[in-house]
Structure 1
Amino acid sequence: MIVFYSSWLCSLSYWILLITGLSYPRNAQSIHLPPPTPIRNYEFNLTLNSLNPDCSNYTNTDTLLINGLMPGPTITASTGDRILVHFRNQLPLSIPANGNLTRHGSANLDANAATLHFHGIHQHGSVKSDGVPFLTQDPVAPGGGHYLYDFWVGEQSGTFYYHAHVGLQDFFGAFIVYESDQVDPGLKQPHQKLSLKSGNDTITYDDERTLILSEWYHRNRSDLENLIIGPDYSHIPDADSILINGKAIQNQHAGHDHHSSSCGGYHIINVKPHHTYRLRVIGATTYRTLGFAVAHHRLTIIEVDGYLVTPYETNYLEVTPGQRFSVLLEANQRAMDYAIGTNRRYVTDNSLLDAAKVSNGWAILNYENRNNLTTATNRSSLHVLPRDRPNFPANDTPPWIWDKLTPAGNNDHHMGILDKEPARTILLNTTSGREIRDGKSVQRFYTNNVSFDTPASSILGQILSGTRPVSRYSVPQLMVTNKTTSQFGQGYDADLKTYPLEHMEIVDFVIQNTHTPGLPCHVHPWHSHGHSHWVIAYGPGSYNDTQHGHIRNVPAPLLKDTSTVYPMLEPPSTADRDNKIYQQTSSQNGTRGCGWSKIRIIADNPGIWALHCHIAPHMLQGMMIVLEESAGLIRSHSHLVKLVHHSI
C-alpha cells in the first residue's frame, strides 16, 4: 500500500478551471470546484488464500483477501482529500466446466470478476468510481485486470468502508475520513486529546478503535451463490461464525490449543483506565442485523453513517449490513477484562428463535497496565471469554432508538429541504416469489413487479459512448403519471429499466415491505448510492398515500445512507387501528403489507445510482432499483475529478 501527497500537481489545473467558471452541483445550489487538496494513493491487490479465522475444523481455501488481509487495509483520509485506489484483480480465471461461470442477470460474468464499492461515499463528479457492476463499470477481470478508482471525499467525513459488489464476494475494509487534523490520532502528541467539533459543542476523547463486524460461512462462495439463486433455495442460512475484526472462536468450549499459531483467538481492544475512546463500529455483514454491546459499559452515539448526531447514550447498538456508528466508551470500570458481544436481531424462524439469536461474535475489552501487565501479552487469554458479558433485550422493538437521535449542530439547510413538498412520491412495493429461469424454479425479489437483472453492458458506459437507448418517456411524463394514479410502479421507465430523476428535484421513496400471511415478514436495510437520505416517516402494514402521505412521525430526521424497513405488522387492537398510520390492505397476489419507510433525497448528483437492500442474497435475488439521475448532465459530471487533477 502506497500513500503520497501531490497537491501541487493539482494547482495549475484547479486555477484554470476556476478562471473558466466550471462548477458542479452540491446540495441545493452550484458551487465552485474545491481547491486542490492532498492525493492519497492506495494499491489494492485481490488474491485468494486459505483462512480459518474462527478456530474451527473448517479452512476456506478460497478466501478473498486485499493485500493478503481480511479485513483489508484501512483507507484513511481527511475531508476534501482525493483518493486513488489502484485495484488489481489477481484472482485466477474460473473454470466454466466446474460451474464457476456465474450468470449475473443478462451478462455472463466470470465468478472471479470483481468490483470495489466505497460504501457511503457520494462520488460527486466521479460516478465511474462507485463500483457497481454493469451500472457504473464493467467488472475487473481476473488474471491481472486493473481499475483505477479516482474520487474526492468532498465535504464528507466520518466512518465508511469499502466492500465487494459482485455476487456474494466478501472482501472489505474500513474507510475513515477525519473531520480535521484535531481528530486524526496519527497526528496527535502523547497525552493530547482528540477534539471533535459537533455543532456548538466540542467532543473530546483520548483515542479511537475500529471494530468491523462480518460473517463467516463454512462453505465456499460458489456453493452459497448456487443455493441463493438456485432451485434448492428455501431460506438464507446463518453464518457459522460472526467475526469481529476478522476473528472469532466458533465453539469456545472445544478446548483449543492456546499455543497454536493457527488459532488467533478473540480480537482484543486495549484501553487505559479513565480514558475515553471513540469506537467506530462497521456493519460489514452480508445478512444479519446484529446487536452490539460491551459488558458494564454504556455507549454514547456521536456519529451515524458519516454524520454527527447529538450525543445519545444507549446500552447497545443495532447494526444492520452497511450501517456504521461512532460511539464514545469511557473506560471507567474496574480494571479487568470485559466481553464485547453481538447477537442476532430480527430472527424470524420461530422454531429456531432462541438458538438463532445466539452469536459467537465476541471480542475482549482489556484494561491495560493493571499490575503492570496486559492480558494481550498472555496468549491463553485470547481464547477465554471474560465472565462479564453484555445482555441484550429479548424482544425486537422497531424502530429501535432512531426516533430519539437528532442531528448535531445547525440543521437549517436540511430543514429547507425537509420542509418542502416533494416533486413526487415514488412507491417501491417489494414482493418475493418463485419464477422459472433456465428451466428451474428459483426465488426472486421484485420491486413494483420487476426483479432487477444486470444489463449486458455498463449503463454509464452506454451514456459515455452515446449508445444509450432513447426512451419513449420523458421524466415530466413519468411525474404526471405518478401524481394521477394510485398504481404502484409509476416513475419507472420500462425502456431504460431505471427510475429517471430530474436535476435538483426532491423525491420521496416509500419502501414497502410485504409478506404472505402465515410466513414471516423480514427486515430490509436499504442503501442509497450517490446520496445520503432522510427517513421522514414510517409505519406498519401498507402505505396509502391518501391516508399516510402527510404523516411526518420522525421528529428530527437524520441524514443516512443505510436505513431499515422494519417488519411491522398491523396492530391487533381497535384503538391502534384508529391511529392514522395504520391501514390494512393486501395486493392482488395475496401478499400483505408489513411495514414501510419513507425516505427523501434531493437529486443533486448526476449519475447512475443503485438503491437496494443491503442483505447481499436479497440483492442477488433482484431486490434493487437504479436511479438514472440528471441524464443530460452525467457525461460532463463524470469527468470532473480528472478535469481538476489532470496530472494523473
Structure 2
Amino acid sequence: MPFKETHSLLNNNDQESSYRLKKQYSKRYDKKFIILLITLAGLILFLLWIKIVQPNNFLSRGEFSSNIFNTSLQNTPPSKVPASATPKTTATISSIGNTTIFHYNFILTEGTISPDNYAQNGYLINGQSSPGPEIRIKKYSTLIVHITNKLKVGVTFHFHGIHQSKSFLSDGVPMVTQKIIPPGGTFTYEIDTWPQVGTFFYHAHTGLDIIWLYGPLNIEDDSNSQSFPAAYQYDEDRVFTLSGIYHESLTQIMTRITGPVHQYPAVASSIALNGRSYGLWGTKSNAAYKNTTGYYVTNVEQGKTYRFRFINAASDSLLCCNVTAHSFTVIETDGVYVDPIVTDHIVITPGQRYSVLIKMNQPIGNYHISCKQMESYGPLNGIGILHNDGASPPTDKMLREDRVGEEALPLDNWILDQLHPNVALGQIDLYKVPKNVDREFVIDAFEAVVGQQHIYLVNGHYFEEPIIPYFMQLKQGINITNPPQVFEILEGESIQIVFQNQRTDDFCFSHPWHIHGHSFHVVGHGANRYDPIVDGTRIQKDIADREQFQFRDSVTVYANQTLGDYTDGAFCGWTAVRFSAHNPGLWLGHCHVTPHLIMGKKFVIWEHSIEDPYLKELMTAKSNRQRVKAVF
C-alpha cells in the first residue's frame, strides 16, 4: 500500500535532502501523497476536537457521558417557547443473556447554584444542580450506579421504592446496609429491578444531603402500547420532581436540629419544580443573584394526553398540586397501577409518587402547575408553567414574584381510600392483603428532650447508630435483634405495623412513613390511640368485607384527634399497614420528614428465613453481582 511504502522509504532515507526525496518519487505518487497529508491533518483535527470540545460525549466500556446537554433550540417553531433545558446523563447499556444492564456514573461535587434566583453553595451530580440526572430504564433490567464522592462529607444513596430483591446491600442505608462513602471514595450499587415498573427516585440517605442530592428514577413498561387498556394510554410523559430550597447552609440547618438550643429548621424559602423556582430576595436581588430563566416551563400540544409523573423529594414539605383549569386522572401510586380515578388535584407527601393523565383540552394558553404547602405554612412559589404550543410566550409568568404571603392548606385523607390497585393488569409484585397477622408492631414515636437535645423516641427508645454496621455484624454471626430498634421477622410471615401519632409542643402533625424493601396494604386508620382489640377487630372485619386497599411504600399518618386532650404526648391518630414478608434483608422504616429521621424516628427490620438467619446466601450471592463484574 502507498502509505506503507512511503513510511518505509522515509525511514530509509531520513538523511536525504528534500530535493533528492522529491526526485525519488514519481509524479504518480504526488497526488496520493497530498491526499494522505490532508487525511492525516483531518484526523489530527478530529482527535483534538474529541479531546478539547467533546471530552464527555464519547462512551467507552463501563464509562458514560457525564455532561451532555440537550438544549439545542434549532428548528423550534415560532409558536413554541423553549422548554426548560434538562441536562442529560447517558447510560451505558449492555446485556447478559436476556438481562439488560443500565450503567450510570455519578460524580458528586460542590458548586454555586441559584435555582430560585438566590445564589448559594450546593451539591452537584455530574455538574448538574438538583434534581440530578434522570435514571430511565426498562422493566426486567439490572441497574448499576457508580458513585464517586468528591464532596467534603460522606454520603450514601438510596433508590426509593425499589425493593432491592436479593440486593439489599445496595439499599444505601448508612451503618445498616453499607458503610458511608467517604470523601474521595467510591461505591457501586447493583440492583435487580425485576419485577417493578413505574415512578421512583433516588436520594442521598445521609444527614440533610437529600436537599441537594436527589433525582428521578423511572422504569418503563408497555403501558403506552396498544396492548394496554385505553384508560392508561398517553402520548408523552413528563417528570416533575418536587423539592424545597433553603437559604441556609446544611450545617446551619443541622445545628438547628441537633444543637443544644433546638430550633426546628426554617420553612423552605421556595418550593421547586424540577429544581426551579423564583423569588426576589431583598437586598440580594441584584445581577449576581438573578436567574432569568424563572419558573420551570414544559411545552405541550393541544389535543394530546400526557402522563405527568409527580415525585415528592422534599425533605419535609407535604404538598397539594394541581394544574389550573385541568383535571387529573390518577393511574399510579408509588410504582403500582391503580384503577383510574378523576380528581382536580393530588396530595403528595415526602417519599410519595403519583402518575396522572392530563388531557390538553383547554383553550390554548399558559397555565400554572402549582404545588402548595399543606398543614403548615410555606412559600407560594411552588410553580411551573404549562405552555401550549401556539400560545404567547409566558415571560411575565416565568419571572413573577409569588411570595405575596404564606398559607397552610388543610390536610385530609383526600381520595386515598379510593386508590385501589388494578388487579386485572396482572402486576407481578402485587399480592392480596394477608387475611391474618403473625406479628404486629406498634411504632409509637414521641419527640422528647434529653439533656438539651430534642430527639425522637420510638416506643420509649432512642435509636443509637451501631458502631459496627448491621450487615457486618450479621457476617460475623451476631444476633442483632434489639426491639424496638431492630425487629426480627421470618420470611413467609404476615406483618402488621401500626404507626401511632402523638402531640408535640401542643401540636399534632401528620407524618409520612416509608418502609424500605416492601410495598404494603394500608388496612386501617383512626383517631386518638390505637386499640389492638377494638381497632384490630375492625381492621379484620374490613379485610373480610373487601380486598381492595391502598398498596404502596410510603404512607401518611394523619393528625386525627377527637378527645380534646391537648397535652404534650397526647395520642392523635394512627395508621396500620400490612405486608407479606417475602424479601429477606435489612430494611429501614422511618419518617420521611428528614429532620425527624435525623432525630431518631426510625427502626430496622431484620427479615430472614429459618435456614439462613444471617443472610449468608445474599451476602455471597452469585446473581447480579458476579454477572455485572463479568461485563464491567
Which residue, out of 390, 414, 429, partners 1:369?
390
- 2:45 is aligned to none
Q: Does 1:418 align with 2:433?
A: yes
The correspondence of residues 311-390 of structure 1 with structure 2, limited to 5 A, is 311-347=340-376, 356-370=377-391, 375=393, 382-384=398-400
The answer on 1:617 being equivalent to 2:598 is no
Please list the CA deviations of residues 440-487 of structure 1 after superposition, one character each: whole Å capped at 9, or x if unmatched.
Answer: x110111111122221232112223x2x5336x7xxxxxxxxxxxxxx
Give me the whole-angstrom Cα distance separating, in 2, the residues matched to 1:66 and 1:434: 40
Over 3 Å counting, the alpha-carbon distance change for 1:291 and 1:381 in structure 2 is closer
| Equivalent residue number for residue 9 of structure 2 | none
Deviations 1:31-75 (A, max 9, x none): xxxxx311011010011001111113xx21243444433211000
Q: Distance in 2 between matches of 1:259 and 1:49?
A: 15
Local SS of the residue matching 2:417: helix
CA deviation after TM superposition for structure 1 residue 213, in Å? 0.7
| AA aligned opposite 1:238 | V
Q: Distance in 2 between matches of 1:510 and 1:237?
A: 30
Q: What amino acid is aligned across from residue 118 of structure 1 in structure 2?
A: F
Matched, 1:635 2:599: no
Decide whether aligned partners of structure 1 residues 569 and 236 sit closer, same or farther in structure 2, where only a CA change above 3 A counts: farther
Deviation at 1:261, TM superposition (A): 7.1
Which stretch has the larger CA shift, 563-572 or 505-514? Answer: 563-572
Are the equivalent residues in 2 in contact too, given 1:542–1:595 (CA < 8 A)?
Answer: yes
Alpha-carbon spacing, 1:258–1:204, altered in 2? closer, same or farther (3 Å): farther
Deviation at 1:416, TM superposition (A): 6.8
Match of 1:559, SS? strand
What's the secondary structure of 1:632's corresponding residue? coil
More displaced 10-residue stretch of structure 1: 154-163 or 427-436: 427-436
Alpha-carbon shift at residue 205 of structure 1 (Å): 1.1
Aligned partner of 1:102 in structure 2 is none
Aligned to 1:514: 502
CA distance in 2, matches of 1:415, 1:149: 25
Q: Partner residue of 1:548?
A: 535
Instruction: Tell me how far apart the structure 2 counterparts of residues 90 and 458 of structure 1 sit (CA, whole Å).
Output: 23
In 2, distance between residues paired with 1:240 and 1:196?
45
How far has the Cα of 1:617 moved from its partner? 0.1
2:23 corresponds in structure 1 to: none
Contact preservation (8 Å) 2:420, 2:550:
yes
| Matches for 1:294-305 after TM superposition, within 5 Å | 294-305=323-334
Kindly indicate whether residue 117 of structure 2 is the aligned counterpart of residue 55 of structure 1: yes
CA distance in 2, matches of 1:501, 1:159: 28
Mean Cα deviation higher: 335-344 or 544-553: 544-553
Is 1:462 the equivalent of 2:454? no
Task: Please report how far the alpha carbon of residue 173 of structure 1 lies from its aligned counterpart in structure 2 after TM superposition.
Answer: 0.5
Shift of 1:427: 1.0
Q: Is the 8 A contact 2:157 2:205 kept in 1?
A: yes
How many angstroms apart in 2 are the aligned matches of 1:253 and 1:287? 25
Distance in 2 (CA, whole Å) between partners of 1:415 and 1:65 is 34
Mapping 1:577-616, distance limit 5 Å:
591-616=569-594
Structure 1 residue 4, shift from structure 2 partner: 2.8
Q: Of residues 561, 565, 572 in structure 1, which corresponds to 2:557?
A: 565
Q: CA deviation at 1:258?
A: 10
Deviation (angstroms), 1:544 = 1.0
Q: Who wins on radius of gyration, i.e. which is larger?
A: 2
Rounded to whole Å, the distance in 1 between the matches of 2:494 and 2:523 is 13
* CA-CA distance at 1:254 after TM superposition: 10
CA distance in 2, matches of 1:85, 1:230: 35
Aligned to 2:141: 81
Which of the numbers 96, 107, 127 marks the counterpart of 1:45? Answer: 107
Distance 1:614 1:209, change over 3 A: same
Conserved 8 A contact 1:195-1:202:
no
Q: Which residue of 2 aligns with 1:647?
A: 630
Other-structure match for 2:263: 234
How far apart are 1:369 and its partner, in Å? 2.4
5+ residue gaps in structure 1? Answer: 12-35, 93-111, 184-193, 348-355, 474-491, 573-583
State the AA in 1 paired with 2:512: P
Answer yes or no: is 1:174 the counterpart of 2:174: no
2:488 to 485, 500, 504: 500
- Residue matched to 1:197: 228
- The answer to whether the 8 A contact 2:113-2:129 is kept is no
Q: In the alignment, which residue of structure 1 is the partner of 2:459?
A: 448
Does 1:157 pair with 2:197? yes
Asked if structure 2 preserves the Cα contact closer than 8 Å seen for 1:540 and 1:568, the reply is: yes
Counterpart code for 2:574: W
Counterpart residue type for residue 537 of structure 1: G
Letter in 2 for 1:565: V
In structure 1, what is the Cα distance between the partners aligned to 2:121 and 2:366?
A: 34
Structure 1 residues 255 and 266, CA gap change in structure 2 (3 angstroms)? farther
C-alpha displacement at 1:410, in angstroms? Answer: 3.0
Aligned partners of 2:297, 2:287: CA distance in 1, in Å? 15
Paired residue type of 2:181: V
Amino acid at match of 2:201: Y
Change (3 A) 1:302 1:469: same
- Match for 1:5 among 93, 97, 102? 93
For structure 2, the 5+ residue unaligned runs are 1-64, 66-89
- Partner in structure 1 of residue 128 of structure 2: 68
Aligned to 2:525, which of 513, 524, 538?
Answer: 538
In 2, Cα distance between equivalents of 1:432 and 1:256:
39
Shift of 1:529: 0.3
1:343–1:252 Cα change, 3 Å: farther
The change in CA–CA distance for 1:249 and 1:393 in structure 2 (over 3 A counts) is closer
Q: Is the 8 A contact 1:179 1:196 kept in 2?
A: no
When residues 329 and 238 of structure 1 are mapped into structure 2, their CA distance, relative to the original with a 3 A threshold, is same
Does residue 219 of structure 1 match 2:248?
A: yes
Distance apart, 1:502 and its partner CA:
0.7
The structure-2 alpha-carbon separation of the partners of 1:380 and 1:196, relative to structure 1 and needing over 3 Å to count, comes to: farther
Note the alpha carbon deviations across 1:359-385, whole angstroms, 9 max, x for none: 211111111124xxx627xx5653148
Matched position secondary structure for 1:38: strand
| Aligned residues between the structures | 528
SS in 2 for 1:291: strand
Q: Which has the higher relative contact order, 1 or 2, with Cα contacts under 8 A spaced 6 or more apart? A: 1
Rounded to whole Å, the distance in 1 between the matches of 2:123 and 2:429 is 43
CA distance in 1, matches of 2:268, 2:531: 37
Separation in 1, partners of 2:435, 2:425: 14
Give the letter aligned to residue 443 of structure 1.
H
Aligned to 2:307: 278
TM normalised by structure 2 equals: 0.78
Please report how far the alpha carbon of residue 602 of structure 1 lies from its aligned counterpart in structure 2 after TM superposition.
1.3
Structure 1 residues 608 and 274: CA distance shift in structure 2, 3 A:
same
Pair 48,397 (structure 1): closer, same or farther in 2 beyond 3 Å: closer
Question: What amino acid does structure 1 have at the position aligned with 2:436?
Answer: E
TM superposition shift of 1:323: 0.6
The answer to which of 46-55 and 448-457 deviates more is 448-457
TM-fit CA distance, 1:415: 9.2
